[in-house]
């Protein structure tokens, strides 16, 4: 039995629950945690959500074009381009032959389960053992739908970085379509893998993505999730550890414009000792109805002694009429941890920062621009993919031009 002994504090939205497992030796793997939904491959186990469920309550179901219900998923309104460096293997294969499930993914909501069933073909990317790829792998998906009625697409991706390999994989989404995808990522022992996902959709795209990552012993995984475009983008990302000493960085950058809904749901499941997780998501919102949601769940299991975790979400609200929700959750089942920290803040421009810059002669517009660039700067530098840095700064600049820099 897991018995809550203490609920330490509730600071703004932050919830920490410390529980003590009284008979841990017998039940190492069983966790009664609301952070750990039971997955199932059987669609019958996933009822059509009403919108009142905890995991759906922030999402505008009406705008999902039926992905969460029964809309057909057989569309193929897209083109995909692969750029693959020497030594890396990429192929589109029959889903039955793709080794799906290697990451431990068991669909944990209805869309993931439907996507699993519907995706006939799977993109596999394999970085062979000990290979150090000198260039990123690019997967460019370009939506070609011309109407919201064009049938949605289901896709499945399996990325495997074999032991001691090093690589960066960039998934880029542009154009327009309705996409539901499951991405599985396996990081072998001692491997170092970066996966960058850039949602730079046209304004009317809908993308519901599930990512499941299994991180090997002493492996490092960095996930960079950049979201600029789309009407509704919801990413649900789970990382777990297959062995001790693994480390996960999850960095996110998003910019929501008028009417856009951008939702990130993260779950780091510390399933092994001496593992690390560092989650930093930063977002800006501008325009009427811009909406962002960030759910940062971290579970530290009984076995996960000596782990370190930190999670942070900051939102910069640039205009009236925006809403940012930020909900970090930390659930700790062992007292033997090396460190657990968090920060969550949502705010407007800081008057004192703007005043300081302007008192040096910098115009208001330029001061705002500096502050926003500064806000994202550290994060972009931490992505550490030089090929992308410049284009990310340029995209931030283009977003700013829509609003902050648009007025006189």
Partner 1 sequence: MSTLEIKDLHVSVDTEDGAKEILKGVTLTIKDGETHAIMGPNGSGKSTLAYSIAGHPKYTITSGTVTIDGEDVLEMSVDERAKAGLFLAMQYPVEVPGVSVANFLRTAKTALDGEAPKLRTWVKDVNGALEQMNLDPAFSQRSVNEGFSGGEKKRHEIAQMDLLDPKVALLDEIDSGLDIDALKVVSEGINRFKERDGKGVLLITHYTRILRYVKPDFVHVFVNGKIAEEGGPELADQLEAEGYDKYVKAAV
For residue 350, the minimal CB distance to partner 1 (Å) is: 8
Taking CB under 8 A as the rule, does residue 405 contact partner 1?
A: no
CA distance 267 to 256: 22
Taking CB under 8 A as the rule, does residue 147 contact partner 1?
A: no
Q: Which of 376, 383, 388, 395 binds partner 1 (CB under 8 A)?
A: 376
Q: What are the b/e assignments for 290-299, b being 16+ CB within 10 Å?
A: bbbbbbbbbb
* 366 DSSP 8-state letter: H
Going by their DSSP bridges, the two strands 308-317 and 276-285 should be labelled as parallel
Taking CB under 8 A as the rule, does residue 366 contact partner 1?
A: yes
Q: Which of 63, 348, 356, 394 binds partner 1 (CB under 8 A)?
A: 356
- Helix, strand, coil share (%) of the chain residues, nearest 5: 15, 45, 40
Taking CB under 8 A as the rule, does residue 360 contact partner 1?
A: yes
Q: Which of 38, 47, 320, 361 binds partner 1 (CB under 8 A)?
A: 361
For residue 379, the minimal CB distance to partner 1 (Å) is: 8
Give, for 78, the enclosing helix (H) or strand (E). Answer: strand 78-83
Q: Which stretch binds partner 1 (CB under 8 A): 74-82, 200-208, 221-229, 344-352?
A: 344-352
| Closest to 76 (Cα-Cα) out of 174, 157, 156, 178 | 178
For residue 112, the minimal CB distance to partner 1 (Å) is: 36
188 or 252: whose CB is closer to partner 1? 252
CA distance 56 to 265: 11
Q: Which of 148, 364, 384, 405 binds partner 1 (CB under 8 A)?
A: 364
Going by their DSSP bridges, the two strands 206-215 and 121-127 should be labelled as unpaired
Q: Are the C-beta atoms of residues 153 and 94 closer than 8 Å to each other?
A: no
Taking CB under 8 A as the rule, does residue 359 contact partner 1?
A: yes
For residue 348, the minimal CB distance to partner 1 (Å) is: 13
List residues binding partner 1 (CB under 8 A).
350-353, 355-364, 366-367, 370-371, 373-378
């Amino acid at each position: 039995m897991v018995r809550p002994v203490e609920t330490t504090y509730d600071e703004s939205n932050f919830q920490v629950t410390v529980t003590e497992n009284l008979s841990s030796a017998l039940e190492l793997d069983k966790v009664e945690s609301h952070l750990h939904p039971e997955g199932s491959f059987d669609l019958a186990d996933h009822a059509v959500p009403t919108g009142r469920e905890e995991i759906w309550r922030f999402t505008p179901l009406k705008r999902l074009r039926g992905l969460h219900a029964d809309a057909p998923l057989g569309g193929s309104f897209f083109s995909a381009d692969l750029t693959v460096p020497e030594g890396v293997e990429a192929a589109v294969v029959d889903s039955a032959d793709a080794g799906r499930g290697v990451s431990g993914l068991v669909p944990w909501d209805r869309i993931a389960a439907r996507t699993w069933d519907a995706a006939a073909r799977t993109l596999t990317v394999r970085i062979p053992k000990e290979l150090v790829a000198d260039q990123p792998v690019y997967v460019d998906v370009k939506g070609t739908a011309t109407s919201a009625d064009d049938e949605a697409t289901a896709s499945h991706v399996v990325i495997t970085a074999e032991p001691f390999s090093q690589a960066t994989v960039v998934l880029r989404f542009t154009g327009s379509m309705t996409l539901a995808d499951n991405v599985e990522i396996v990081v072998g022992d001692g491997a170092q893998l970066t996966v960058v996902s850039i949602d730079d959709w046209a304004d009317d795209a809908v993308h519901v993505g599930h990512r499941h990552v299994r991180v090997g012993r002493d492996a490092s995984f960095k996930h960079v999730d950049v979201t600029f475009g789309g009407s509704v983008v919801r990413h649900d990302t789970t990382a777990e550890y297959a062995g001790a000493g693994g480390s996960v960085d999850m960095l996110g950058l998003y910019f929501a414009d008028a009417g856009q809904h951008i939702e990130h749901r993260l779950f780091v499941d510390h399933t092994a000792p001496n593992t690390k997780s560092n989650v930093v998501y930063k977002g800006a919102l501008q325009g009427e109805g811009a909406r962002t949601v960030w759910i940062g769940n971290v579970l530290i299991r009984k076995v996960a002694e000596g782990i370190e975790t930190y999670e942070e979400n900051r939102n910069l609200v640039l205009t009236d009429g925006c809403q940012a929700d930020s909900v970090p959750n930390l659930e700790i089942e062992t007292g033997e941890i090396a460190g657990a920290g968090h920060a969550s803040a949502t705010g407007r421009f800081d008057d004192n920062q703007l005043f300081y810059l302007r008192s040096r002669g910098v115009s208001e517009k330029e001061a705002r621009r500096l502050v926003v660039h500064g806000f994202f700067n550290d994060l972009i530098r931490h992505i550490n993919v030089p090929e992308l840095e410049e284009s990310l700064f340029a995209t931030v600049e283009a977003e700013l031009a829509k609003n902050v820099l648009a007025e006189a």
